[in-house]
Structure 1
Amino acid sequence: MTALASRPDRAILPPTLRAPAAAVSVLALFVFGVFAARYADDDSAGRLDRRVQKLFGASDRGLSLTDAVILLGNPVTVVVLAVLLAGLALVLGHRRLAVLAIVGPGLTGVATTTLKPVIGRTIDGGFAFPSGHTGGATAIGVVAALLLITVLRPATGTSALLLSAGALVSGGAMALALVVDRVHYPTDTVGGFCVAVAVVLTSALVIERLPRAIPRWGAR
């Protein structure tokens, strides 16, 4: 039996956050559904999009801070970050969180890619809703926050704050960059954010239950 196998694997989510996480997942799916129905087969900015776009001017062409942020949401970058988080989780003895680090962003990418042509909203001729870049960045932010929570083991309120900050900061920064560069409509980024939150939190809740039915590595 290896040292890694003998380590007790800690929970991904504190028990007190599991019910709120399930509720947030349902809420995110509901918001996504409302926006998806509203903007299905649309090819222009809605009223909400136009109001938000007025708050931000288009960025100058050429390399900028927003371009650098957008690069962080590219599929290759998300995969690299997911693998790094999974590796760190394994080193720290959090096997279930390592699985989530791969599954969460991976399923988010599959979901956003699959849903785009189904919903059919476009911008400049390309499918736009939900934003894959926002989904990827949000998923990575949620996983990173969960890893921090498992290491620090803060109180419930602090854990909820860290989890919210992980999603909002990473997803919000990506959404802002995409809107400023006119790559996506603001509502596209909301859709991507909701998909990531629902997918990662639901995956975490499912993975939490699986090890109870599966013997630990090295067990006889």
Structure 2
Amino acid sequence: MKRDNIERPRAPARTALTPAVRRPVTALALLGLLLLVVPALIFAGDTSASRLDTAAKAFVLEHAPAGSWDIIRGLDWLGEPIGRALLLIGVTLACLAAGRRALAITAAVSIATISVLATALKPLVGRRIHEGFLCYPSGHSAALTAAALIVGLLVADVFVLRSVASTAVILGITVVGGALTAWAQINLDAHYPTDTVGGFGCALLVVPVTAWLIDRFAARRAANRPASR
């Protein structure tokens, strides 16, 4: 018997944002917008630490573990151009290895976008540290928080977690990643603590928006594809 050459319908492509995470990630994007914009408006043009910055820095320095300098320097290096490029490549390859192509594209595009956006926002906000260095938002914090958020999305997808568990995993990994980077930047006196809040917000905003746009583009492309006979 001859087999009919019937083309089977393709399985739907995996999206960057699974249905279980769309609502919580949308909420994170709105939170990110607030965390990015509100401090920018409050501290625009400042050249010194606020009371909040002073108190937060004192707390961080007082509770810094002994022997943590190498970790601090390592976290800072990951936010530098070479380290950030390797971070982008590593997260993207991890997504590809797990078969999450849309999420891999999201990782590459969002981390690159965050680097450009953080650099562009600095002169617009005009906040300075150490007598002249533009500092808001923290690009280091933004990049590493974005990478952590992508990892959270990947874990939630791979393990097919439901909405509540997905939210907990994504939020937990993102907060840990962002907090570690903020801790390093504050210890190095490279940024005011509120600069790292702006970087955190930048990542929370850009990653979900990028993922949503990639999913929309993929959906439109699939809709315009000729139907199989």
Q: TM-score, normalised by structure 2?
A: 0.85
| Structure 1 residues 175 and 209, CA gap change in structure 2 (3 angstroms) | same
**Where does structure 1 lack aligned partners over 5 or more consecutive residues?**
1-5
> RMSD of the TM alignment (CA)?
2.3
User: Aligned match of 1:45 in 42, 49, 53?
Assistant: 49
Q: Give the equivalent residue in structure 1 for 2:205.
A: 198
Q: Would the aligned equivalents of 1:28 and 1:195 in 2 still touch at CA under 8 Å?
A: yes
Aligned equivalents of 1:83 and 1:7: distance in 2? 27
Letter matched to residue 15 of structure 2: A
Post-superposition offset of 1:19: 2.6
**Aligned to 2:99, what secondary structure does the other structure show?**
coil
Q: Give the equivalent residue in structure 2 for 1:26.
A: 30
**Aligned to 2:83, what secondary structure does the other structure show?**
helix
Q: Give the equivalent residue in structure 1 for 2:165.
A: 158
User: Aligned match of 2:129 in 123, 126, 129?
Assistant: 123
Moved over 4 A (4+): none
Post-superposition offset of 1:89: 2.1
Aligned residues: 213
Q: Give the equivalent residue in structure 1 for 2:150.
A: 143
Matches within 5 A, 1:1-220: 8-57=12-61, 64-124=70-130, 125-215=132-222
Q: Would the aligned equivalents of 2:20 and 2:162 in 1 still touch at CA under 8 Å?
A: no
Aligned equivalents of 2:75 and 2:87: distance in 1? 14
Letter matched to residue 114 of structure 1: A
Q: Give the equivalent residue in structure 1 for 2:6.
A: none
**Aligned to 2:61, what secondary structure does the other structure show?**
coil
Which is further off, 169-178 or 207-216? 207-216
Q: Would the aligned equivalents of 1:69 and 1:174 in 2 still touch at CA under 8 Å?
A: yes
Which of these two proteins has the greater Rg computed from alpha carbons? 2
Letter matched to residue 82 of structure 2: V
**Where does structure 2 lack aligned partners over 5 or more consecutive residues?**
1-9
Percentage of pairs with the same residue: 32
Aligned equivalents of 1:148 and 1:24: distance in 2? 17
Aligned equivalents of 1:7 and 1:92: distance in 2? 17
**Aligned to 1:183, what secondary structure does the other structure show?**
coil
